[in-house]
Every structure is written in C-alpha cells, then in structure tokens.
Structure 1
C-alpha cells in the first residue's frame, strides 16, 4: 500500500487530507501549527515530525501552502522536503505559484533523485470538502499516473497539462478570470441596490440568464447577508491576480481589466479584509 504525505493543513489542505484519510489511504500529516493535525490523527493519520521526515517516509508527498515564498520555504533547509526526498519518492506541490517557482522546485527535486508534479487546484473550501476540486497537473507523467487514484478522491477532474509550468499558468488564468468576474459582480450588485432594486431579484434574474454560474449563486447571498465567512481568503486572490499580471508582462501582453481588478483587491487588503472571503471585495465597492 502506497504511503502518502500531506503538508499544509489550511482551509484547503485540511479538507483534502481528510478525504484521503476517509478513503482509507495511509496518510502522514504535518503543519507548522501542529494543532491542525490533531483531528486528522484522531481519524487515522500518522503525525509527521517535519517536512523532511514526511518526504523520506512516504511514497508521494502532497503540499498546499499560501504562496511562492511558502512553497520554496517548505522545500529548503535541513528539515525541508528536499532533505528527505530521494530515489523512489515523489513530491506534488498543489500550491498556487508562478511557473518559475514550479520550475525551480522541479529542478531541485529532480536533482535530488525524486519525481515532481505541480498540481494547483481550482476550487474553494466546499469543493475541497466535497472532493470536487479541479486539479491542474503538469510535470512527470509517470507520477501523474501513480497519483491519479488520490487525485480522484480529492477532485472531480484532473487533466494532465504537459510540462512543468503549464499547471501554474492554467491556474493563474482561471483565477484571473474569477477575480475579474467577482469584481464586476460586486459593482453590479452595489449599483442595483443603490438604485433601489431588490437584491434577491437581481440574483434571480442573473441566475435565469446567460450569466448564471456557481460562483454568483454562492457569493450573491453572501453579499446580501453581509456574510464573509472565509472560503477563499481575499489576500490569496490578490496574490493570484498579481502573479497573473506578472505572467502577462513576461509574455508582453497587456491585461488592463486584470490590472484594475488587482487594484480593487489591493484596496480591500488595505482596508483590513485580507483574511475574509474574496466576496469581501464588495465592501470596498458599496
């Protein structure tokens, strides 16, 4: 039986690791805040001592952390992933990072004798809990094939996208679109309410037409109820918008709408909404 490691037990990682454990897989967990491991260990997981120890005792180790800096940090140092990886062991980074960060990690893991796959996920807290994420995998095809049974537990779709960097780019494109949609949705809802339209009727009309989509169906009631319980932290969306714009710069592509949207999310961060849900961008509009 393959042994799996899971590092990074935030909103997404905790739910993803939990689904692997519920499916009966042999899972070792680790998080900087060890308290986040407690209920998973009670459910049958093993407690890891460090990223190094997880990587050296598991066949495949998954990680999902907040940003490129955290993704690099979890790999480096005497107790990092790189110190524990080696021949016959594999590493899958599910964090949302830029393609250069993925390539850097891939080169280091490969040099150490391991296999590497980037596999950022599209989806928020509820899809993570339900096992319906979209997993955007790229890199070592043999590792993709070996990891597919675990991907199928965590997600509903796991396309293989080719060489390292393609998964990271796909995730940034998807999140850039999502951020832009949420920004204009917030402006539209704000305009409608200021114009004395009924908020629920706006949502019903949008849901009945060509613009209907799951995000508006979920975020709309959050705006009307002023409920910003975090499913996807706003600070992470702003990070993704910035990375998407950086990618555009590298490709000599102007992204004016994304740039404007990024400024809106930056304004929301400055206003103190960084740890609230992405829907809290509405508070800077209304």
Structure 2
C-alpha cells in the first residue's frame, strides 16, 4: 500500500457543467483547490472564489495532494493521465488520483497499475446525478479500487455525494456506472414513449405526470426530466454526445461478455439519429424529439 499524503490541497481537472459545482463544494469545505480546464474561462468563477489556476494537468498534479479528473471521453482521460504534461509524469509520490469521468473499465485498471509503479494510488469513481446532483452535493459515486485508498479519499468524496459505495477493485466503479447507464437508456425511452402516447391520445401530459409520477413508474427520468420533455426544455444536464459515449462503452463491454442487451442497442440507435440531426449538445431528455418529430 502506498503511503498517501495528508489531503490539504485538491486538484480538479475538468471544471464543466458538473465539475464546477463539485470543485466548489471542496473549496467551500476549506481545502485548497487547484483547477485546470481546457477552456480557461470556465474556471473564472471558482478562481474568483479562491481556487488557483494552473496551465497543465501535470502542474495541477505536482501541486496537489489529491487530484480529481472530470473530463469528457476516454481519450481525454488517457491524455490527462498519460500525456507528456499529464498527471502520472508529474504527481509526487503519495498523491491520490480519482478519475470521476465515465470511462472504460480497462483504462481505469491501466491507470491504477501505472500509478502504483510511481508510488501513487488511483481509484475510479464515476458519478450519477447530473448537474442537479452536482449542484446539491447529492451525486451517487461508484468506486473501484482498494479499500485503503477509498477510505483515505472518502472525506473529499462525501463533499460531492450522498451514496458512495466501493464496488470492488480497479475498474469496478466504471462497470457499475455502465449498469447505471444501461438502466437509464431504456427508462428514458419509456418516459419518452409514455409522453408521446399521452399527447397522441389527447391527454394533458402534465396532468398525466401528476398521476404516474407518484406510482410505480416514478423516478428521476420521469419526475425530473419528464416535465422538461413536455416543456421542450432540452438544456443539458448531461450531453447526448456524452451519453452516446457511455452507451458505446457499455455495448463494447457487453459484446466482450457475449451479453445481449436489446434495450441498450435500441437506445443507442435513437440517440445516434438525434446526434446526426444536430442534437448532440442537447440534454438526454432531448430523446423525446425523436418521438414527436
């Protein structure tokens, strides 16, 4: 087990829709916070509150006791960790690394193994809850890694989420997130189809929400995103393009296990069509547009 540094300063790489709130909670708790984002302007608000800007992921790593990454795609994760100006080349021994991006389980294992050879400790900790969960510090956090590193990082993780569970070794947090996305994929199709049916038969969809939102159909996709679908509000809490990325990872992992997931396949097909029609930057609730076209 790596001798981990006491956590006084947290580096946060990826200050976007969710990362800005997540880093803000850590700063508000009294930790020093160092930030990096490809678009520097997105860090202006948190820097104004006291965070420090660094111009490369490596510089963040060299000046932080714990580093959190919340970027877009597995290719971004690989570059941020393994590039010449990346985390693994510049972090000091004893640094804790947490990738909270939804990424591939195999990449999470690769990062963990590489970290150990450098006297670092890495865990994967993807999240669910979107911009609302990030804002309210109520994210669900799914962790893969060793228990000692998990317990060391837990006080910081608790600043961002409510449900925080160690699911197994490296990569198992990412596998758990795939389970989450698989469930969402079919659920959001069901919500879209329910609303489309209500409109077609002449019901008031908002009134329908009042009835079914308190029954067995209730849940985040129906109760939170359903009203946005009805209102035509497709502002992103989670981008369609990032959801497609997640579905691709899940389908790839399922294929490797010879596991057939027809609901996931259909959801991916519909979201691909929306993205091809220019809706990749919409929120996932934008799926309703396929049914109402």
Shorter-chain TM-score bucket reads: over 0.9
Runs of 4+ in 1 over 3 A off after TM superposition: none
**How many Å separate the matches in 1 of 2:72 and 2:178?**
14
- Do structure 1's residue 137 and structure 2's residue 143 form an aligned pair? yes
Q: Is the CA contact 1:90–1:143 (under 8 Å) kept in the aligned structure 2?
A: yes
> 5 Å matches for 1:4-15?
4-15=10-21
SS in 2 for 1:262: helix
Q: Corresponding residue for 2:42? A: 36
Q: CA deviation at 1:86?
A: 3.6
- Do structure 1's residue 48 and structure 2's residue 46 form an aligned pair? no
Q: Corresponding residue for 1:158? A: 164
| Aligned residue among 100, 104, 108 for 1:98 | 104
TM-score by length of 2: 0.95
- Do structure 1's residue 120 and structure 2's residue 126 form an aligned pair? yes
TM-score by length of 1: 0.97
Q: Is the CA contact 1:176–1:240 (under 8 Å) kept in the aligned structure 2?
A: no
Q: Is the CA contact 1:85–1:113 (under 8 Å) kept in the aligned structure 2?
A: no
More helix by share: 1
**How many Å separate the matches in 2 of 1:130 and 1:276?**
22
Structure 2: runs of 5+ lacking an equivalent: 1-6
Q: Corresponding residue for 2:83? A: 77
**How many Å separate the matches in 1 of 2:55 and 2:115?**
20
| Aligned residue among 231, 236, 247 for 1:225 | 231
| Aligned residue among 185, 189, 214 for 1:183 | 189
Q: CA deviation at 1:55?
A: 0.7
Q: CA deviation at 1:78?
A: 2.1
SS in 1 for 2:278: helix
Q: CA deviation at 1:81?
A: 0.8
- Do structure 1's residue 25 and structure 2's residue 25 form an aligned pair? no
Structure 1: runs of 5+ lacking an equivalent: none
Q: CA deviation at 1:14?
A: 1.0
Q: CA deviation at 1:79?
A: 1.0
Q: Corresponding residue for 1:57? A: 63
SS in 1 for 2:111: helix
SS in 1 for 2:168: coil
Q: CA deviation at 1:76?
A: 2.3
Q: CA deviation at 1:279?
A: 0.5
Q: Is the CA contact 1:61–1:91 (under 8 Å) kept in the aligned structure 2?
A: yes
Shifted more, 88-97 versus 135-144: the winner is 135-144
Alpha-carbon RMSD: 1.2
SS in 2 for 1:106: helix
**How many Å separate the matches in 2 of 1:111 and 1:54?**
20
